[in-house]
Chain A
Amino acid sequence: MANESEKMYTGDNIVQREMRMTNGTRNDSIVRGFALSSVFWLLIGLVIGLWLAAEMVYPSLNLAPWLAFGRLRVVHTNGLVYGFTLAGIFACSFYMLEKLTRTPLAFPGLAKAQLWLFNIAIALAALSLFAGMNTSKEYAELEWPLDIVVVVLWVMFAVNVMGTLVKRREKQMYVSLWFLVACVVTVAVVYILNNLAIPVSLTKSYSVYAGVNDANVQWWFGHNAVASVFTFPILAMFYYFLPKSTGLPIYSHRLSIIAFWSLVFGYLWTGAHHLMLTPVPEWIQTVALAFSLFLIAPSWASVVNGFYTMNGNWDKMKSNYLVKFFILGITFYGLQTIQGPTQAIRALSAHLHYTEYIPGHVHMGTMGWVTMIITASMYFMMAKISGREVHSVKLANIHFWLILVGQLLFTVTLWIAGIVQGAMWKAVNPDGSLKYTFLDSVAAMYPFWTVRLVGGLLYFAGIAVFAYNLYMTSRPKPGTKWSAAAAARSQAA
């Protein structure tokens, strides 16, 4: 069996190379490695998130300094943005790249090295943030030595993406590849420019920008990190895995291309909507507001494209367990991209900014849109590369319902909490004095924080089911060439 597998690898004609790619014999181990790393960091990030939610209800859980809210919060966000989401993006990107270009990865050895370096970097990042090493710039908290590692990792990724695209045998690029290119370029530009800093020691540096400029660059980065990590590559997955899992072509490829270019043109101007009613010049705020509202159109172009793809085939929502994830995922993306721009409107921003409404908004995007799409994509990929069906459709359905109910409980509760909080802060007596103290507003949050914790627990249970189901699916099917090749490799090792 091993000899037969070897024979398949050594051939150099096109058919054999195609088989090497589609039969799960070579670069699938990299995809599998990134996918399982992603799930590992997802579980870690969620456990920390649960602890944080519990700290809100039971403040005595703030075990300073290592488990204080201020430290744990950044481990939670960095672990999930850079650990879970990026690893998921790497896994899905490498998989989609090979399939859509009909070309093996340009540098598989580099991708393997990237896998190891990535996990070491995330572990070091978590440790440094636990230890309180923090630049204090949101989503850019890592200190300069780790920033350099992140840049090296990104260059490794970019070299493989661009190298494979250059060598591609499929001339026309499907929209998912366009989104991957945007992800590679945008992350590189915004991450490097925002993290420019002057080191004063191995663990401390100061931003090269100051005051309002620093805030402006920070949120130009902050919002485009959302675009580059939570939008472009996730849309790439949506546009690839929805058609692949249903067998239905996307409704309109040209609409998706227009949506792509509109997002690329519009996103980079929106960062200052995080700084409404601040000392940032008003015209910059207005430009950000205008472009934020503009972005509703291309975002909904993708939503409409997804819905129209299912036109006449909505029965697949019942018969195909993956479709539920993709359709609910794109629905949450649609809701998210209405909610976000409206939050930028000054009157609403004045009421909602700094309240619980904002984490409610963010978590609909991350727990609804991003996680739904990544986990469904992983089910599809893992089944393909292990040569078996998903371990249990029933468990996948349980996973779906748990994360859906958990997420809705979590986010809707926080929206209501935010509206209550904003109203309490602004309520005044007839004489103009404040009606409530700040502590009154904190006390009013406890019921909401308790429900949020319950929602988080349900969500975590769903993800635990997913992790088990995916792991079981990822084991090579006995008797296949993939398992024979894996056995031969481990024997050789």
Chain B
Amino acid sequence: MTPRALAYLIFTLLLAGIFAGIIAYYFNRKRYDRVEAPKHRMLADDDPLPDPTGSRREG
């Protein structure tokens, strides 16, 4: 195997390894709640906030 072919092989395996690592990280049961939390928080970003001026907020 030439050094160039070896480099391609290592690069490919490295990418596959990183990809597998990402999947394992996100599908780890321990992290389930933490990984899913943003989908609930994003729904709250338009919630009405207290109006410091005391008047009712419109729009």
A135 to B1 CA separation, bound complex (whole angstroms): 41
A8 at the binding interface (Cβ < 8 Å): yes
Tell me if B59 and A254 are in contact (CB < 8 A): no
Find out whether the CB atom of A174 lies under 8 angstroms from the CB atom of B42. Answer: yes
- Given A15-B52, A24-B59, A247 contacting B35 (CB threshold 8 A): no
A7's closest neighbor in chain B, by CB?
A: B53
Q: How many whole Å from A382's CB to the nearest CB in chain B?
A: 12
Is the pair A18, B43 in contact by a Cβ cutoff of 8 Å?
no
The one of A15, A173, A252 in contact with B50, judged by C-beta atoms closer than 8 angstroms, is A15
A462-488 residues with Cβ-Cβ distance < 8 A to B are: 477, 479-482
Q: Which among B15, B26, B55 is the interface contact of A257 at CB below 8 angstroms?
A: B26
Among the interface residues B26, B38, B50, B59, which one has the most CB atoms of the partner chain A within 10 A?
B59
Interface centre among B15, B42, B50 (most CB of A within 10 A): B42
* CB-CB nearest in chain B for A98: B45
From DSSP, what is the main secondary structure of chain B's interface residues?
A: helix
Docked complex: A63-109 residues within 8 A CB-CB of B: 99-100, 102
Residue of A nearest to B51 (CB): A19
A19-B49, A257-B35 known; A247 vs B42 contact (CB < 8 Å): no
- B45 near A22 (CB under 8 angstroms)? yes
Using Cβ atoms and an 8 Å threshold, which residues of chain B touch A481?
57-59
Q: In the bound complex, what is the Cα–Cα distance between A22 and B49 (angstroms)?
A: 9
| CB contacts between A and B, total, < 8 Å | 94
CB contacts (< 8 Å) of B59 on chain A: these are 23-24, 384-388, 477, 480-482
B30 contacts chain A at the CB level, 8 A cutoff: no
List chain A residues, Cβ under 8 A from B34.
172
Contacts of B32 in A (CB 8 A): 254
Q: Is A11's CB under 8 angstroms from B52's CB?
A: yes
Give bound CA distance, A152 to B43, whole Å: 34
- Minimum CB–CB distance from B48 to chain A (whole Å) comes to 8
Among A13, A100, A257, A258, contact of B45 (Cβ-Cβ < 8 Å): A100
- Residue pair A479, B58 in contact (C-beta under 8 Å): yes
Q: Is the CB of B39 within 8 A of A250?
A: yes
Task: Tell me whether A16 and B52 are in contact (CB under 8 A).
Answer: yes
Contacts of B15 in A (CB 8 A): 265
Is the beta-carbon distance between B55 and A244 smaller than 8 angstroms?
no
B53 touches A4 (CB 8 A): yes
Number of interface residues of A (CB under 8 A): 45
Roughly how many angstroms separate A276 CA and B45 CA in the complex, as a whole number? 47
Per-position 1/0 for A143-178, Cβ under 8 A of B: 000000000000000000000000000101111100
Residues of A within 8 A of B22 (CB): 258, 261
Residue of A nearest to B46 (CB): A22
Which residues from B are CB-within-8-Å of A23? Answer: 57, 59
With A and B bound together, what is the CA distance between A387 and B46 in angstroms? 12
B58 CB → nearest A CB, Å:
4
Q: Is B4 interfacial (CB-CB < 8 Å)? A: no
Asked if B5 lies at the interface with its beta carbon under 8 angstroms from chain A, I say no
Cβ proximity bits B10-43 to A, threshold 8 Å, 1 near / 0 not: 0000010001001100110000101111111111
Cβ-based interface call for A232 (8 A): no
Neighbouring B residues of A170 by C-beta, 8 Å: 38, 41
Using a CB-CB cutoff of 8 Å, which residues 208-234 of chain A contact chain B?
none
Inter-chain CA distance A480–B55, complex, in Å, is 12
The reply to whether the CB of A253 lies closer than 8 angstroms to some CB of chain B is yes
Q: Is the CB of B38 within 8 A of A172?
A: yes
Residues of A within 8 A of B43 (CB): 243-244, 247, 249
Closest to B26 in A: A254
Given contacts A4-B55, A23-B57, whether A258 and B46 have CB atoms under 8 Å apart is no
User: Contact: B39 with A99, CB < 8 Å?
Assistant: no
- Complex Cα–Cα for A174 and B15 (A): 24
Flag if B46 contacts A99 (CB, 8 Å).
Answer: yes
Closest Cβ–Cβ distance, residue B26 to chain A (whole Å)? 5
Within 8 A of B (CB), among A168-194: 170, 172-176
Confirm or deny: A240 has a beta carbon within 8 angstroms of a beta carbon on chain B.
yes
CB pairs A–B below 8 angstroms (16 shown): A8-B53, A11-B52, A13-B52, A19-B52, A99-B42, A102-B45, A170-B41, A172-B37, A243-B43, A244-B42, A257-B35, A261-B23, A262-B19, A386-B59, A388-B59, A480-B59
Q: Kindly list the 10 A-B residue pairs having the minimum CB-CB distance in the complex, ordered from nearest.
A: A387-B59, A174-B38, A253-B39, A249-B39, A480-B58, A254-B35, A99-B45, A254-B26, A480-B59, A174-B42
Given contacts A8-B52, A240-B42, A262-B19, 17 further A-B contacts (CB under 8 A): A19-B49, A19-B57, A99-B42, A99-B46, A170-B38, A243-B43, A244-B46, A253-B35, A254-B36, A258-B22, A258-B23, A261-B19, A261-B22, A388-B59, A480-B58, A481-B59, A482-B58
